[in-house]
Amino acid sequence: MSSVMYQRMRVNPKFQELVQKRGRFAWTLAAIVLILFYGFFMFVAFNPALLGQKIAEGSMWPIGYTVEMVLFVFFWLLTLVYVRRANGEFDDLTAEMIKEAQKLGEGK
């Protein structure tokens, strides 16, 4: 039973659309996090002195701390963006697809 359903969904163009759109979106966000995170770690590893400097003359805010705090907030905002789109647009598409596959079963 399941296998038949999976087969029907797989051939539904909406499945390809879902997989491609969501996959691209998830990997783009993941790439942003990985690049920023390991990019930041490269600075920690190879240019630590820079991170210790203040962001501006007379300010007490160090570059590293400020950047990192922005990263904390930014990474969390990315999770918010992903959850909103996945729980809305992508889940709606999934629900439609499952319904269509079930209808196909009733028709026969």
Partner 1 sequence: MIARILSAFAFLGLAGLAHAGPAVDAAAKQATNWHAIIMFLIFVSLTLFITKWAASRTKTTADFYTAGGGITGFQNGLAIAGDYMSAATLLGLTAMAYSQGYDAYIYMLAFFAGWPIILFLMAERLRNLGRFTFSDITSYRLDQGTVRTMAAISSLVVVVFYLIAQMVGAGQLIKLLFGLDYNIAIFIVGILMMIYVAFGGMVATTWVQIIKACLLLAGGTLTLLLAYTQFGFSFTELLTKAEAVHKLGARLMAPGSLLADPITAISLGLGLMFGTAGLPHILMRFFTVGNAKEARKSVLYASGIVGYFFNVIFLMGLCAVLIVGQNPEFFEGGVVGGKLIGGGNMVAMHLAKAVGGNMLLGFLAAVAFATILAVVAGLALAGAAAISHDIYARVIRKGQATEKEEVRVSRFAVIGLGLLAIVLGIAFEKMNIAFMVGLAFGVAAAANFPVLILSMYWKGLTTRGALWGGYGGCISAVLFVLFSKSVWVDVLGNKAALFPYTQPALFAMPIAFILAYIMSKSDSSPRAKAEIEAFEDQYVRAQTGFGASGASH
Tell me whether residue 35 is exposed, middle or buried, using C-beta atoms within 10 angstroms of its C-beta: 0 to 12, 13 to 18, 19 or more.
Answer: exposed
Q: How far is CA 71 from the centre of its chain?
A: 15
Question: Which CB, 12 or 108, lies closer to partner 1?
Answer: 12
Q: How far is CA 41 from the centre of its chain?
A: 21
Question: Which CB, 2 or 108, lies closer to partner 1?
Answer: 2
Query: Minimum distance from CB of 83 to partner 1 (Å)?
Result: 5
Residues that bind partner 1 (CB under 8 A): 2-3, 5-6, 9-10, 15, 18-19, 22, 26-27, 29-30, 33-34, 37-38, 40-41, 44-46, 48-49, 51-52, 59-62, 64-65, 68-69, 71-73, 75-76, 78-80, 82-83, 86-87, 91, 94, 97-98, 101
- Cβ–Cβ under 8 Å, residues 98 and 10: no
Question: Which CB, 65 or 104, lies closer to partner 1?
Answer: 65
What is the CB neighbour count within 10 angstroms for residue 18?
A: 20
